[in-house]
């Protein structure tokens, strides 16, 4: 593992749990905290970002396991030194910046969306370029089948988000909030009544309480 450079060296030497923690906090953690701090509400309604990115990061952990057990890096990638890995990462980030500029008018363009474009997406692209060949050449049958299925799952979520217009998350939230505003009052009243009945049932230890009937009755 001493001959590895760049991201290969990091993944081969860092504990898998540490890699998982950094990936999770650098993506979901930053997005939730950033939206809460800058927009007043932590949210994530994009399937491809919430679940799809997680599937891609499992591939990263899978590749880390292969490197830690001594899996070989393809020769054409193994020749890259540390500075060339930095250049590759910089190119990926430049592409992310270009994509962010090209698409910001079609989205709400919040700071966390830009962060996803110029940090998270480039990291995913960098790992795709450097790690997919490792899994493909040094992984076993189960590992490369898992890689293909996880990447396919991410693609399915991207298509779903595109069809449901979830990629522009703020606009999707605002649109659904507007559509639900007419029934919001009734649902809030139903929630209050349901909570009250729940408290009473706990106090009375009544096993025959019917929450479903109460909720439907409150909505009428």
Angle between helices 169-204 and 211-219 (to 10 degrees): 130
Q: Are residues 209 and 102 in the same domain?
A: no
Other C-beta atoms within 10 Å of 45: how many? 16
Distance CA 43, CA 45 (A): 6
Residue 38 near residue 112 (C-beta atoms within 8 A): yes
Q: Are residues 102 and 78 in the same domain?
A: yes
Per the structure, the count of domains in the chain is 2
SS (H, E, C) 112-132: HHHHHHHHHHHHHHHHHHHHH
The pTM (predicted TM-score) of the whole model is 0.74
Range of the domain at 192: 181-219
Q: Are residues 97 and 156 in the same domain?
A: yes
- One pLDDT digit (tens) per residue for the chain, 220 residues: 557 788 888 899 999 999 999 999 998 899 889 888 888 888 888 899 889 999 999 999 999 999 999 888 888 887 778 888 889 999 999 999 998 888 776 665 578 888 888 999 999 999 999 999 999 999 999 999 999 999 999 999 999 998 988 888 877 877 776 555 555 555 555 555 555 554 455 444 444 454 444 444 444 4
Q: Are residues 61 and 148 in the same domain?
A: yes
């Amino acid at each position: 593992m001493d001959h590895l450079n760049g991201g290969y060296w990091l993944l081969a030497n860092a504990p898998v749990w540490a890699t998982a923690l950094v990936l999770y906090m650098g993506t979901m953690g930053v997005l939730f905290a950033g939206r809460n701090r800058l927009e007043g509400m932590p949210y994530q309604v994009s399937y491809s970002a919430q679940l799809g990115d997680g599937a891609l990061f499992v591939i990263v952990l899978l590749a880390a396991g292969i490197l830690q057990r001594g899996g070989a890096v393809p020769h054409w990638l193994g020749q890259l030194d540390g500075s060339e890995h930095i250049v590759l990462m910089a190119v990926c980030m430049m592409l992310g910046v270009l994509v962010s500029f090209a698409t910001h008018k079609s989205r709400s363009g919040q700071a966390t969306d830009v962060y996803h474009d110029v940090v998270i997406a480039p990291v995913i692209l960098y790992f795709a370029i450097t790690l997919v060949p490792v899994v493909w050449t040094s992984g076993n049958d189960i590992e490369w089948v898992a890689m293909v299925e996880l990447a396919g799952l991410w693609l399915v979520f991207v298509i779903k988000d595109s069809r449901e217009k979830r990629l522009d998350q703020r606009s999707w939230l605002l649109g659904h909030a507007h559509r639900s505003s007419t029934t919001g009052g009734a649902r809030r009243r139903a929630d209050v009544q349901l909570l009250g009945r729940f408290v009473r049932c706990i106090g009375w230890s009544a096993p025959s309480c019917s929450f479903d009937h109460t909720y439907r009755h409150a909505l009428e």
